[in-house]
Structure 1
Amino acid sequence: MKNTLAITPLALMLIVACAPAAAAENQTKVWKVGVLVSSSAALNASRDEALRQGLRDLGYIEGQNLKLDFKYAEGKLDRLPQLARELVEQRPDAIVVGGTRVAVAVKQATATIPIVVAGAGGLVQAGLVRNFSFPGGNVTGVSRNSPDFVGKRLEVFKQAIPKISTVSALSNSTNPGYDRAFKEVELGARSMGVVIQPVVVRSANDLEAAIRSAAQPKSDGLFVMPDALFNSHIPKIVELTAKTRLPAIYPRSEYVEAGGLMSYAVNLADLSRQAAWYVDQIFKGMKPDNLALTEPTKFDLVINANTTKQLGLTIPPNVLARADKIIK
């Protein structure tokens, strides 16, 4: 007992002496977060600001206790591996990514730095996580698609354009989640009595011929699948689709802002805000392997009224009433 009593005050003195230093170190630490994006800074601006705001709300301020390092592939997907390696070399405390391809590139570059996904599909199929409850590696975050999202998007398209019975689905066969996503589209279409015709590309060079072929006599509309390649050529895809006069539903609101008919999509800014929460949890000591992934809950319907008129369409009032934004 005497030894215990003699040691305890000494231990307490050491704890008291070290505590201020530890607290000061924690307060003055500058957390480093890398962000890798497949598109451009302009296209990703709202998501970048949402991530910044989400981190600010949690107490991380750029220039004080936070350093953000953004890298953009500018639509050149072959640059992703190199950009991922460059980020890893900076030894950030976490890396935020959007999209399956970006996540795969960063995962191949590091097995230790925590990777926070701000929207990506097919995470299990791509080998990025074991399952949503226990990811089992260094990847966690927010999935891009809820289980019934693809079917719901097709359902919204059918409600907006009731006459459609055959739809061409524009897909990229090099996307890691291609097979899974296309099966989901077919499954959803079957339940609505809609026939899906695949229109497949492998590169940007295939887009013009693919979209032109989508306008075959039997097709009533175009369903554009989510893909980094497509998102890097939004104006071109919208322009080519306009020439076919096919009504189309897109995976991001930017297509509609560029003149596309409509989009039903995950609110990407909301995903980035959720990603900030994951970053905070990791900074507080949580490990990605046991930090369960979540699915998106906010989806936006955007309709371009001018394009509706140009195509001679009448969107039912109940669909217009549900729109989160109508571009006039």
Structure 2
Amino acid sequence: MKRYLILIFLISIVFTQTYENELKPPRGYPNYTFLKWSVKLGFLDLVDLEPEIPDSIIIIEDIVYKETVQRSLMLDIYKSKILTESAPVIIFIHGGSWTKGDKEDYLIYCLAFAQKGFVTASLSYRFSQETIFPAAVEDVICAIRWIKANGSEYGIDSSKVALVGGSAGGHLAMMAAYSADELYFSSGCDDSDISTGVQAIVNLYGPTDLTTDFAIAQEATKYFLGETYDKNPEIFVKASPLTYISPGDPPTLTMHGSIDKVVPIYQGDVLDKILKQNGVTHEYHRLQGWPHTMDATVPVNEYVQNVMTNFFKKWLNGD
């Protein structure tokens, strides 16, 4: 009987989503059980993480943007072959609990937005097992500076830069953007005279406050910081994006699922609150009934891409 009721519910979701507007959030699920069965029964499709590369896109791979003791850090650049003028750049930062992931993880986004007329880039950064905070933040900042300094070679308008990150990548994107030009995070970069300021941020379910009881208890947090809260609470404050928010910060788009167990929805809620208090232009899309990495599903990914497209048209293209 229980499976029958789940099946009826899942069919109703599919029917509803078929007719939903592209800018209306796709209907979510009551809990992980329903979500799991939806995938298992084929009612919820997952995105292809290795999409075919269109002939219309040029990819410049493995560009070294920073040399470190641990390894060479690289980025990939994607652009349309028919791009004739310099274009805004969208920099993607992958997630993975600060311990794993690859610059190819956001291939689906890099290709999609390159086809829309943007230049896109995706970067690698150092993990917790290689070196601790603030190294990963420094790496992202160095990548921003490198792209701004060398952008003209790749058809990039360096005055129009956006950051996009998911989960740990969202955290790094916010840290880099909200702490722009802070000396604390400027170590190891060439082109140190170039501002790290950006024009827009997209945060996909990234942690914003590492001082909550939940965040403090996570092994990934302690590994990333190289400290425990009882021994060094100040480092948890320094590593929280909320610490650096101030009036005048760049427009921010946040998308977070209400049943996220990895980065609880509170992290998105408190970001929304602090951005409002500081008068920062922002959008908060709180997707009911969706989990962590919700954009790995086709309906959410399509929704995220549509919302991001409108956001970038407004804040990068000035539409």
- Per the normalisation by structure 2, the TM-score is 0.33
- Per the normalisation by structure 1, the TM-score is 0.33
Q: Which has the higher helix share?
A: 1
